[in-house]
Amino acid sequence: MPITGKQRAQKIDPRYHARKDPWIVRKRRLGWIGLLIGLVSSGWLLSPRGSSHVSTGALSRVHQPWNEQGCEECHTSQVPIRSDAWRGEHPEFVALNNMACSKCHPVGGHKNDSTRKEVLASEACNQCHREHLGLNQDLSDVADNQCSRCHSNIASVLERASGSEPNVSSFSTQHPAFRFEMKPGDPGTIKFSHIQHLRPGQPKTPGDATAKKREHLPTKDQDRYQVDPDSQLVTLNCADCHEPDSTSADGAAALDHKTFRPVNFESHCSACHGLDGIPHGLNRALTEKAIADQLPVELFKFFQQRGDTSQLDPQEIQEKEMRLKALLSSKTEGCAKCHQLALPADPATDSIVEPSNVRKRWLLDGTFVHGAHRMVDCKSCHAAAYRETGSTVDSEREADTIMIAGIENCRECHIQDAKKRMERASSQTHVASANCIDCHRYHIDPVSSLPTAGTLQ
């Protein structure tokens, strides 16, 4: 006989609801535990020891010590530090926060004279240098949009805009040409032909019999330069004259080397361009004295070669003297072979030649790191130096040509859009990013107030 509902109900205590439900007891217990854990952990988080855990992300490696020293090293209580925070661009807060950074980073500003004051006053350090993004965050890796915030509409941030200032929003699509492209012409005064010097034997005209062979070089320089094994003609390459400004321990070019040391006559020219013992680089008076001093030496060498010093031919002496003096006065040889002669002024101090004005850097608004481009051939960017015409070179005219490729050449490898960069990588060997900070720097030097390398002029 099945048990009826009434029979079942009779077995239930009518006051069962007055008894504590174990599930409710359990719920309350866990509620209290939650409250207790919450209070204890909150207390710990609000204490100095736990404060590092309230960080919104790990500090970058360079700021790791601040994990120990506490948030107050950078944060001021109840002052918004993030530039995108509510009231984060308030000049008073920005100044306060920037002061905390400048305690350790005394960097200069950026275009303080030409930028509107209210724009500068709202520029917080952390606008560009974002912290709390992890141990490996590179604080100097500033996103392009931080530059284009102002540069895409540059007139809006300038104190006095002329209207001709170029807007820049992207290297690939909106970036002005390099300055030397817009205003061609080399201010240098050295008459030098790269084309001639890259020819084997360096003849002015191809096939010239005066081409330089190994035997023409001084003994000490004969092993220094490359020589064509068949013709014995001296063959120069770029590195024979252009030495990197910094080298690694093994003497090779450093990876971060930016420019090259100035070409030096004694090191790079004298092997072929001897001055008959007259020192290079002296002013007029000293050079004339050196010529006078050098005459007896030259005569001695002459007679020594002839093996007879008994007879002094006045004509021979005069010829020697004239040849030495011609170093100064000739319009095509001597100093004038490479230099522009200066007009005589004060013989005691005046130079014989015009200053060379060889520019150490051409990309003045950007910092070009040659070391970073070591994988590409010099010809890739300096094709003009290799442009063999097959005819007699005109050193003077060629010297006026800037032998650096323009911005379009850079864009062949430097592609801003990551997707396009990947596409291009499948068809060419070298591709690279095109971020603003790859070439430009923001801050001026705080001590000299001069732009640091790559700061926009």
Partner 1 sequence: MLLVRKLNLHIGPILLASALIIGAAVWQGYASWQNQRSVSGSSVPGLVIGSAAAAIILFELLLWPRKALRRIRLFKTKAWMAYHIWLGLACGPLAFIHAGYRFGGSFTTVLMGLLFFVLASGVYGWILQIVIPRWMLEHLPQETVASQIEDVSILNALEARQMLMVSLGPKPDGTASLESLDAVADSMRGSSLIRDSERNVEAIVVGARQRRLPSRRAAETPIQGIASDEERLEIWKGYASVIEPFLLHGSQRVGQLATPQRSKEWFQLLRQSSSAVCGPLLDRLESWVSQRQQFEMQRRAQAWLHGWIGFHAGASILLGVLLIAHIITAIRYW
Question: Smallest distance, Å, CB 79 to partner 1?
Answer: 6
Which tokens belong to 443? Answer: 């801050």
The string of DSSP letters for 279-328 reads PSS--HHHHHHHHHHHHHHHHHHHHHHHT--S---HHHHHHHHHHHHHHH
Per CB under 8 A, the list member of 99, 104, 143, 239 interacting with partner 1 is: 143
Question: Smallest distance, Å, CB 103 to partner 1?
Answer: 18
Which tokens belong to 37? Answer: 């854990």
Contact 157, 129 (CB under 8 A): no
Q: Pick from 105, 55, 53: which is nearest to 81 by CA?
A: 55
Contact 400, 418 (CB under 8 A): no
For residue 346, the one-letter residue type is D
Residue with Cβ nearer partner 1 (93 or 368):
93
Question: Smallest distance, Å, CB 144 to partner 1?
Answer: 9
Which of the residues 112 through 141 are near partner 1 (CB under 8 A)? 132
State how far the Cα of 68 lies from the Cα of 130, in Å rounded to an integer. Answer: 20
Question: Smallest distance, Å, CB 438 to partner 1?
Answer: 18
Which positions from 18 to 57 touch partner 1 by CB under 8 A, shown as an x/- string? -x-xxx--xx-xxx-xxx-xxx-xx--xx----x-xxxxx
16 binds partner 1 (CB under 8 A): yes
Q: Report the chain's terminal Cα–Cα distance, integer Å.
A: 103
Residue with Cβ nearer partner 1 (21 or 319):
21
184 binds partner 1 (CB under 8 A): no
Which tokens belong to 65? Answer: 């010590």
Which of the residues 62 through 101 are near partner 1 (CB under 8 A)? 71, 75, 77-82, 84-86, 88
Q: How many residues touch partner 1 (CB under 8 A)?
A: 56
Question: Smallest distance, Å, CB 78 to partner 1?
Answer: 6
State how far the Cα of 391 lies from the Cα of 72, in Å rounded to an integer. Answer: 72
Q: Which residues bind partner 1 (CB under 8 A)?
A: 1-3, 7-8, 10-16, 19, 21-23, 26-27, 29-31, 33-35, 37-39, 41-42, 45-46, 51, 53-58, 71, 75, 77-82, 84-86, 88, 132, 143, 145-146, 148-149
